[in-house]
Amino acid sequence: MSRIGKKPIPIPGGVTVTIGDGRVTAKGPKGELSMTPVKEVEVTREGDEILVRPVEDTLKARAMWGMQRTLVANLVDGVTKGFEKKLQIIGVGYRAQLQGRTLKLQLGFSHDVEYPVPEGIKIETPDQTTIVVSGSDKQKVGQVAAEIRAWRPPEPYKGKGVRYADEYVFRKEGKKK
């Protein structure tokens, strides 16, 4: 039995959730998001709560139950609060700046890396070594942050590169004589 799947999802004020035609749609102050749950679970609304239940007691239905509940909860959280990921750039001469809808990164290559900001994502650079990726879709925010980090992941010897703000980079000791 899924412990996560059993929990009802509360619908906060200012958010409208519609369930129909095999889709769950949430509309709130940060925008509108929708998803199609798998056929092994059913999503119902009872009062000001959303419930996710497996259709039948199969192994696949139980496996999908908790994940689908989390995806629906992410829809509701996304249209109310939104999601954000912070990235830090560490290294001499490494920096980032936003020019219109393009993030320009200097990461030690012979050229600047230009990353076009996708639709529905907001990127801020409070200073030259910090990037804040925010938006209402949790998957998209994480994907954009991972794509930016992939240009120069942190290396274990000096710690240089792009890392998440809360990421711990295991440092290795260099050669000994």
66-100 confidence digits (pLDDT tens): 999 999 999 999 999 999 999 999 999 999 999 99
106-132 confidence digits (pLDDT tens): 999 999 999 999 999 999 999 999 999
In the predicted structure, residue 51 carries a pLDDT above the cut 80: yes
Identify whether the C-beta of residue 52 lies closer than 8 Å to the C-beta of residue 42.
yes
CATH of region 3-80, choose from 1.10.287.3510, 1.10.2020.10, 3.30.540.10, 3.90.930.12? 3.90.930.12
- The pLDDT of residue 171 is 92
Distances (CA, A) of 4 to 7, 41, 125: 6, 14, 36
Paired with 87 in beta bridges are 131, 164
Composition of the chain by helix, strand, coil, percent to 5: 20, 35, 40
CATH of region 83-164, choose from 3.40.640.10, 3.40.50.150, 3.90.930.12, 3.30.2130.10? 3.90.930.12
Domain ranges of the chain: 3-80, 83-164
Sheet strand arrangement including 83-90: 121-124, 130-135, 83-90, 161-164
Identify whether the C-beta of residue 132 lies closer than 8 Å to the C-beta of residue 144.
no
- The pLDDT of residue 1 is 63
1-27 confidence digits (pLDDT tens): 678 889 999 999 899 999 988 899 999
| Cα separation, 54 vs 2, whole angstroms | 10
